[in-house]
Structure 1
Amino acid sequence: MARNKKARAVPVTSGAIRYKTKDIDALVAQLDTLKISSHLAFDSDSDAEEEPARPFQPFRFFDLPSELRSHILELLVVKEKTIDLDPSNTRTLLPALRLFFVSRRMHAEASHVFYSQNTFRIFAINGRFFHTKKQLLTRLPEHYIAHMRSLELRLGPGFNKPPKGWVVDARLKLDTAVNVRLLKVFVELDPASHPSFEGFRNEECGATEQFFTVFSVGLLGCLFGELQQLQKVEFDAYPGISRSSPLMQALVEETRMGGKELAWGPERGWDKIVETDLGGMLQKLGIGCERL
């Protein structure tokens, strides 16, 4: 038998390794080139299939029905709180009022919604504007005041010395408020209803504990004289104010004498709570206490 010869190992030199490494690098470079070219080809195909870009079309707001436009504007410019002279107006009101500068038609519709749907305070109560002689209505043009439907009178601040600017005169331009139908009167406190307020007015100067009641009733009567189209007066107050307090009784009597409809606001809850005289009820039931 022929003797099997062992295969002789061929020594691998460094030159052979170097050549194989170059071949591998060249192959990798070819693969990268193929990937890039195929990717470019795919992109070119996708670009060819894409639709041409359409020109930008703005939303035609005024093509909407007027009722829908008014509802959208109400969501933007109608506020829950009464509008007054306040430093925070630049943050709370100014962004919404930028609609006025869009166009003349937008200004006409947005300003009508803003002034007709919001409530505006006649005399400022913010500390920065409390003593101002130029109230909010004084600063507004007459054509804006003509859109207003609701005004508010807040009674209580400055009860011991009302500001000199709290005067109903021609500066308020109330004769142009021809669409105001509702006057909201909010009572913060009644100095004549509690003995803790005694001594805040100097009786030597002719001021008595009934001073603020007389002042408030006179203010309300002057507003009735200026607001010729006024129909309803809505009273509201803080929980500590009773409907039977001297100030409230005087204001209600003035409203009835002026022939205005009487209504009660939501905060105090007078329309839901019936105030009763507990002592009178006990006497009617014969349970009254005898004086010793």
Structure 2
Amino acid sequence: MARRTSKTTGPRPSISRPVRSLRITAPTAPARTSSSDPTTSGPVPETSGDKPVTEDDVNHLSIASLTLDTPLIPLTRKKRRVPATPLPFLSLPSELRIKIYAYFYFDEEDVDTLATPDPNNVIDLDPGNYKRFHRKLGLLRVCKQVHAEACFLFYSTRTFRIFPTYPGRHFKTKKPLLARMKPHQRQTITSLELRLGPGWGAPPRGWVVNPALGLQDCVDVEILKVYVECDPSDSTFNGFRRSDGFYEDFCMDLLSDILDGLPSVQIVEFDARRHVKKSGKMMKGLIDAATEAERLIEWGPRRGWTDDDEDDSYVIGPGQFPQQVPISGSETGPHDIMAVA
């Protein structure tokens, strides 16, 4: 027999239907009935409180109107403070503008004193150049006159390294810093540096003088600084050098090619580390190359050479070791680590 279901006496569940539209009515303000105030006596005018609030009205409400306790202050950018009378910079004398450019481009790393000369105080192809100069070079975009004056001061008061010596990909690049410059920038350079020593076992392929290097544009270069880190002809390099006289001949030919490409150079300044001897094969070849090119020879402040030097021996100070060899390709600095042979 089929079981009979019990009848329910409660109300049936209602079926919910989707609401097609939502109508919101704003509450109406109650009418004042007090007769104490004569201004409120009389009939109250009808208001439009019964007008339905649409969805557009809700969307146009500001967030500040929905906040009851703390009113929101709209975010507004502060107006840039513009002086009432701008500085007539271009109306200043040219001598004063040059002083301002020099103060603007002043860099602590550019300070070079005779007491503590630093051969690294030159601009090289270095990853730190962007942080060091990028923002300051933005001054060149002001106008043509400022570009001409500031560009000349920046490039004419600094020494640029011809071939990079920074360890890593910059050291092996085929496009040195000089080749990356524009022709009008190379025309304002007055001082270049050739640093020899890094890569004495295998010189990089990019260390070659060709038209792409841009020496033909360096028409104002008057001094070429040659800094020697090491002399592979020294007995310390026995068993490590590629062959006798290989790197010395390479450097001599490289210096001769550079001097041929820089006819405006009048002075060649030689400097070196303390363990490099003027009587060594390295320095003799470089001096002969400068003499054959009919250039004046001067001596840098770091090594302390003079024209009357006869004894190349140097005194070993405290904390120093004899027969030190610079390690080429050091990652901790630009070839400043020394190894005791």
Pick closer, same or farther for the CA change 1:57–1:154 going to 2, 3 Å.
Answer: same
For the pair 1:174 / 2:215, whether they are aligned, the reply is: yes
SS at the partner of 1:271?
A: coil
Matches of 2:308 and 2:292, distance apart in 1: 25
Matches of 1:113 and 1:277, distance apart in 2: 39
Q: 1:59 aligns with which of 87, 93, 118?
A: 87
Pick closer, same or farther for the CA change 1:254–1:137 going to 2, 3 Å.
Answer: same
Contact 2:277 2:312 in 1 (8 A): no
Q: 2:245 aligns with which of 210, 221, 235?
A: 210
For residues 40-95 of structure 1, the C-alpha deviation after alignment (integer angstroms, 9 at most, x for no partner) is xxxxxxxxxxxxxx962222222222122222212333634211110111222223
SS at the partner of 1:106?
A: helix
For the pair 1:105 / 2:133, whether they are aligned, the reply is: no
Contact 2:279 2:312 in 1 (8 A): no
Contact 1:198 1:209 in 2 (8 A): no
For the pair 1:69 / 2:97, whether they are aligned, the reply is: yes
SS at the partner of 2:150?
A: helix
SS at the partner of 1:209?
A: coil
For the pair 1:121 / 2:156, whether they are aligned, the reply is: no
For the pair 1:260 / 2:300, whether they are aligned, the reply is: no
Matches of 1:74 and 1:232, distance apart in 2: 25
Matches of 1:60 and 1:210, distance apart in 2: 61
Gaps of 5+ in 1: 1-53, 203-207, 279-292
Q: What percentage of aligned pairs have identical amino acids?
A: 42
Pick closer, same or farther for the CA change 1:59–1:221 going to 2, 3 Å.
Answer: same
Deviation at 1:239, TM superposition (A): 1.3
For the pair 1:221 / 2:256, whether they are aligned, the reply is: yes
Contact 2:228 2:276 in 1 (8 A): yes
Q: 2:180 aligns with which of 132, 135, 139?
A: 139
Aligned to 1:89: 129
Mean alpha-carbon deviation: is it higher for 161-170 or for 109-118?
109-118
For residues 219-259 of structure 1, the C-alpha deviation after alignment (integer angstroms, 9 at most, x for no partner) is 00001111011110001111111222211111111111110
For residues 77-136 of structure 1, the C-alpha deviation after alignment (integer angstroms, 9 at most, x for no partner) is 363421111011122222321211222221111111111111110000011300000111
Contact 1:124 1:136 in 2 (8 A): yes
Deviation at 1:273, TM superposition (A): 8.2
Q: 1:231 aligns with which of 266, 269, 279?
A: 266
Q: What is the TM-score of this pair, normalised by structure 1?
A: 0.71
Aligned to 1:6: none
Alignment of 1:141-160 (within 5 A): 141-160=182-201
SS at the partner of 2:135?
A: helix
Matches of 2:284 and 2:180, distance apart in 1: 33
Aligned to 1:200: 240
Pick closer, same or farther for the CA change 1:198–1:100 going to 2, 3 Å.
Answer: same
SS at the partner of 2:224?
A: strand
Pick closer, same or farther for the CA change 1:71–1:277 going to 2, 3 Å.
Answer: closer
Matches of 1:178 and 1:166, distance apart in 2: 21
Matches of 2:197 and 2:264, distance apart in 1: 26
Matches of 1:224 and 1:273, distance apart in 2: 25
Structure 1: which 4+ aligned runs deviate by more than 4 Å?
none
Matches of 1:60 and 1:224, distance apart in 2: 44
- The structure whose residues are more often helix, as a share, is 1
For residues 126-156 of structure 1, the C-alpha deviation after alignment (integer angstroms, 9 at most, x for no partner) is 1130000011111111111011111100000
Aligned to 1:247: 282
Pick closer, same or farther for the CA change 1:105–1:134 going to 2, 3 Å.
Answer: same
